[in-house]
Amino acid sequence: MKYDIIVAGFGGQGVMIIGKMIAFAAMKEGKNVSWFPSYGPEMRGGTANCTVVVSDEEVGSPLVLHPDMVIAMNLPSYDRFEKDLKPGGYLVYNSSMGDFKKRRDDIEYIGLAANDMANELGNSKVGNIIILGAVSQKLPLKEESYRLAMEDALHRPELMPLNLKAFKMGREHK
C-alpha cells in the first residue's frame, strides 16, 4: 500500500496541520511516512502546500508528482493540482472558497463547504479538521489513529472536544 497526497491552500488555513495529522495517524499504525512542507513568501495568506507519502515500504522520496489524493483548501490550489491527480484519485476540496469546476470524469470530487460548516460549530478555525474527517473516509487508516494524531498535533487540549466534533462532521458528510 502506498498513498501520495498533496495538501494545498493559503497560509493560515491549516494546510500543514492536515498533512501532519495524516502522517501522524499513519505512524500510529506503523506505516512509513514522509511529510514535506512548501511555503510561499508569506506565512498567512501566501501559498502553502505539503506532500505526504504513506507506505508499507520505505519511502524513497517525499516528491509527489502524480498524487492519489489532492486536498485543496482554496480555488487556486484546486486549479493548480487537479490536472496532476492520478486517474481514480480523490480531489477533496473546500467548496466555501470559490466556484469549482469539475473538469475530469476519471477522478472522484469530494466538496465540503468547510468554512460554513466550521462557522456552524462556532469556530471558523476548524475547517481543516472537517476536511480531515472527509479525507479519513478515503484513506485506509483507523479513526482512532486520527484521534491520537490530533492529540499529538493540536496543542490545545481544551479544544479537543470541538476538534473531534469537527472531524466527525467531516467524516459523516455525504
- Return the HEC string of 21-86: HHHHHHHHCCCEEEEEEEECCCCCCCEEEEEEEEECCCCCCCCCCCCCEEEECCHHHHHHHHHHCC
What does the radius of gyration of the chain's CA atoms come to, in whole angstroms?
A: 15
On whether the CB atoms of residues 91 and 108 are closer than 8 A, the answer is yes
On whether the CB atoms of residues 113 and 133 are closer than 8 A, the answer is no
Q: Quick one: cell of 98? A: 470559490
Across 118-127, average pLDDT: 96
Statement: residue 42 has pLDDT above 70: no
In the chain, % of residues over pLDDT 70: 96
Q: Which residue range(s) make up the domain with 58?
A: 2-172
Compute the distance between CA of residue 69 and CA of residue 89 in angstroms, rounded to an integer: 5
CATH number of 56's domain = 3.40.920.10
Q: What is the pLDDT of residue 75?
A: 95
Give 141-158 pLDDT, tens digit per residue: 999 999 999 998 888 889
Residues with Cβ within 8 Å of residue 4, at least 6 apart in sequence? 51, 52, 53, 64, 66, 67, 68, 69
Compute the distance between CA of residue 158 and CA of residue 74 in angstroms, rounded to an integer: 28
Is the pTM value of this prediction over 0.85?
Answer: yes
The helix, strand and coil proportions of the chain, stated in percent and rounded to the nearest 5, come to: 45, 25, 35
Across 103-126, average pLDDT: 97
**In a 10 Å sphere around its CB, with 0-12 CB exposed, 13-18 middle and 19+ buried, how is residue 119 labelled?**
middle
Give 63-92 pLDDT, tens digit per residue: 999 999 999 999 999 999 999 999 999 999
Per DSSP bridges, beta strands 32-39 and 69-72 are: unpaired
Indicate the average pLDDT of the chain.
Answer: 94
Statement: residue 40 has pLDDT above 80: no
Number of domains in the chain: 1
Q: What is the pLDDT of residue 152?
A: 87
Please give the residue that has the higher pLDDT: either 40 or 136. 136
